[in-house]
């Protein structure tokens, strides 16, 4: 699991985030898999790329779940740079014979329609071009429910974490079967 604060349990009690819930579900439904959560709050696609090679060498993952880009977007970084970083992450995972699940993100509307649409299109385009599994939007089903978010309106509360897991689980299941 290579992600940012949304996967690193920012503001949540330890072992209550969606990645911990994923580990628990895998223990029951696919015990041949375990989870290494290499998510860091505040991480960007360039940070994830910089950290990736040692993680691949150390853990030799069968599957990498990539949940990065939100901080690139929130900082207004160039979309083409984010796309290039994500493509490099995908390429390095594949060179390591690691299957990839890409987790998409959307930005709040205050960034402008053009930037927001271009930002989200990166995830869809990368998944299409690379024939990857895609979870289209990690916060799908509750992004517009402020009562499901911490005071910063960016980080979900514990009640949202099972929904985030469900948003990832559906496209992850075929990868667990080696498809």
Question: Which residues is 66 bridged to in the sheet?
Answer: 2, 102
Q: What tens digit of pLDDT does each residue of 99-134 get?
A: 999 999 999 888 889 999 999 999 999 999 999 999
Q: 11: left (phi > 0), else alpha (psi -120 to 50), else beta?
A: left
3-state DSSP assignment of residue 67: strand
CA–CA distance, 43 with 19 (Å, rounded to integer)? 16
CA distance 148 to 160: 6
Q: Which two tokens stand for residue 40?
A: 């860091």
Which of 79, 98, 175 is CA-nearest to residue 134? Answer: 175
Alpha-carbon span 52 to 115, nearest angstrom? 27
Read off the tokens for 69.
Answer: 């880009």
CA distance 120 to 161: 21
Enter the DSSP assignment of 7. Answer: T
CATH number of the domain encompassing residue 76: 3.40.50.1110
How many structural domains are present in the chain? 1
- Per-residue pLDDT in tens (0 to 9) along the chain, 179 residues: 999 999 999 999 999 999 999 999 999 999 999 999 999 999 999 999 999 999 999 999 999 999 999 999 999 999 999 999 999 999 999 999 999 999 999 998 888 899 999 999 999 999 999 999 999 999 999 999 999 999 999 999 999 999 999 999 999 999 999 75
Which structural domain, as residue segments, surrounds residue 37? Answer: 2-176
* Global pTM value: 0.96
Which are the catalytic amino acids? Answer: 5, 152, 155
Q: For residue 1, what are its two tokens?
A: 């699991």
């Amino acid at each position: 699991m290579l992600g940012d604060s949304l996967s690193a349990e920012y503001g949540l009690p330890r072992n209550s985030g969606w990645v911990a819930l994923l580990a628990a579900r895998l223990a029951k439904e696919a015990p041949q898999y375990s989870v290494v959560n290499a998510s860091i709050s505040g991480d960007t696609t360039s940070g994830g790329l910089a950290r990736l090679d040692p993680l691949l060498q150390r853990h030799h993952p069968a599957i990498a779940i990539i949940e990065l880009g939100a901080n690139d977007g929130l900082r207004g970084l160039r979309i083409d740079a984010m796309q290039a970083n994500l493509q490099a992450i995908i390429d390095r995972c594949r060179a390591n014979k690691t299957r990839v699940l890409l987790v998409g993100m959307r930005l709040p509307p205050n960034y402008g329609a053009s930037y927001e649409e271009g930002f989200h299109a990166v995830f869809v385009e990368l998944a299409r071009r690379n024939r990857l599994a895609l979870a289209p939007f990690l916060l799908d089903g509750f992004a517009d429910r402020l009562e499901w978010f911490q005071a910063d309106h960016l980080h979900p509360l514990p009640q949202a974490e099972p929904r985030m897991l469900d948003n990832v689980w559906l496209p992850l299941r075929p990868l667990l079967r080696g498809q």
